[in-house]
């Protein structure tokens, strides 16, 4: 039996979870949702499929939604999903279940993991000490989920706050999304290193005359802000003075083009 985990990660939280689950499962491949879709259908009775991703505005990130909608999955596939956030209790797993249901597939196992919140446009990032406590607690829960998935256990989705989550996701993630990145600015300490462009999952940043220029197809993941080595990127005045966050177990190199591993 060989499992595959598809993940989307900006600050490294989801990638860290995906790697931990893959290690617990054994004989497991992980692939970034940033990569190209598989040419052939995936899964099958002996090949479980997993999805690991963060919560965006109480629902699915746009990139995740599009990836899963296009992914072709064999019938009778054991599918699992782990979502993570700073504590928002919303309906991203229910939204994923709805997409899979249209393919005749249901989530066999679904769970939520609390990770350090990092949407610094809206709130401060936890201190290093608090973030580490959250990560330590999350590691135990991820291990438990990996054992359950490896054993083929069932934990169906419990849908919650469906209407509220749908309205919030649509009105705040999708509304005016083509204009959202206009508020990104770089300060005078920008060195033009280009790392922001390399970690952007959708190539939304171009380096022009040694300065990043956003191209108006932003996913709102904030990878550019958090991975900037000089902390030279701000979102208007909202992020000034706020801590940046990067999962301590993940390197920028893993995020740049989407880490893909086989046979973990």
227 in a domain, yes or no?
yes
pLDDT of residue 202: 94
Asked if 28 and 4 count as a contact pair (C-beta separation under 8 A), the reply is yes
Q: What pLDDT, on the 0 to 100 scale, is given for residue 246?
A: 97
Whether residue 241 lies inside any domain: the answer is no
Whether residue 193 is found in the same domain as residue 161: no
| Residue 57 located in a structural domain | yes
**What CATH code is carried by the domain that includes residue 97?**
3.40.50.360
Q: Does residue 226 lie within any of the structural domains?
A: yes
| 90-145 pLDDT per residue, tens | 999 999 999 999 999 999 999 999 999 999 999 999 999 999 999 999 999 999 99
Residues 189, 161, single domain; the answer is no
193 in the same domain as 145: no
Residues 89 and 125 in one domain: yes
Residue 264, in any domain of the structure: no
* pLDDT classification of 1: cutoffs 50, 70, 90: confident
- Could you tell me the CATH number of the domain that includes residue 219? 3.30.70.20
- Model confidence at 264, in pLDDT bands (50, 70, 90)? confident
Instruction: Give the whole-angstrom CA distance, residue 181 versus residue 183.
Output: 5
Give 124-145 as a DSSP string. Answer: PPPPHHHHHHHHHHHHHHHHHH
- Give the range of the structural domain holding residue 63, as residue numbers without chain letter: 3-165+251-256
The answer to whether residues 5 and 32 touch, using CB atoms and an 8 Å cutoff, is no
Model confidence pLDDT, tens digit, residues 31-55:
999 998 999 999 999 999 999 999 9
Close Cβ partners of 90 (under 8 Å, ≥ 6 residues apart): 55, 58, 59, 160, 161, 164, 165, 168
28-32 and 3-7 as β-strands: parallel, antiparallel, unpaired? Answer: parallel
Per-chain mean pLDDT for the chain: 95
Same domain, 35 and 148: yes
| Short-list 231, 223, 229, 219, CA closest to 66 | 219
Q: Assess whether 23 and 133 both reside in one domain.
A: yes
Q: Are residues 21 and 61 in the same domain?
A: yes
Res 258 pLDDT > 90: no
What is the tally of structural domains in the chain? 2
């Amino acid at each position: 039996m060989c499992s595959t985990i598809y993940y989307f990660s900006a600050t490294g939280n989801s990638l860290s979870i995906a790697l931990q689950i893959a290690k617990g499962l054994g004989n497991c491949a992980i692939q970034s949702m940033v990569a190209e879709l598989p040419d052939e259908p995936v899964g099958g009775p002996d090949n479980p499929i997993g999805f690991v991703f963060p919560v965006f505005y109480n629902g699915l990130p746009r990139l995740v939604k599009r990836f899963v909608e296009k992914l072709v999955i064999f019938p009778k596939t054991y599918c699992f999903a782990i979502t993570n956030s700073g504590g928002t209790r919303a309906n991203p797993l229910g939204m994923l279940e709805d997409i899979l249901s249209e393919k005749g597939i249901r989530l066999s196992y679904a769970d939520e993991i609390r990770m350090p919140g990092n949407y610094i446009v809206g709130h401060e990032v936890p201190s290093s000490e608090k973030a580490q406590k959250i990560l330590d607690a999350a590691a135990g829960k991820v291990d438990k989920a990996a054992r359950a998935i490896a054993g083929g256990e069932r934990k169906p989705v419990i849908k919650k706050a469906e209407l509220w989550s749908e309205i919030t996701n649509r009105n705040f993630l999708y509304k005016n999304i083509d204009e959202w990145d206009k508020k990104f600015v770089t300060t005078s300490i920008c060195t033009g290193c280009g790392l922001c462009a390399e970690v952007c999952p959708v190539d939304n940043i171009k380096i022009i005359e040694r300065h990043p220029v956003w191209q108006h197809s932003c996913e709102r993941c904030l990878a550019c802000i958090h991975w900037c080595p000089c902390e030279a990127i701000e979102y208007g005045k909202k992020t000034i003075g706020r801590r940046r966050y990067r999962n301590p177990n993940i390197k920028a190199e893993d995020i740049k083009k989407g880490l893909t591993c086989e046979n973990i």
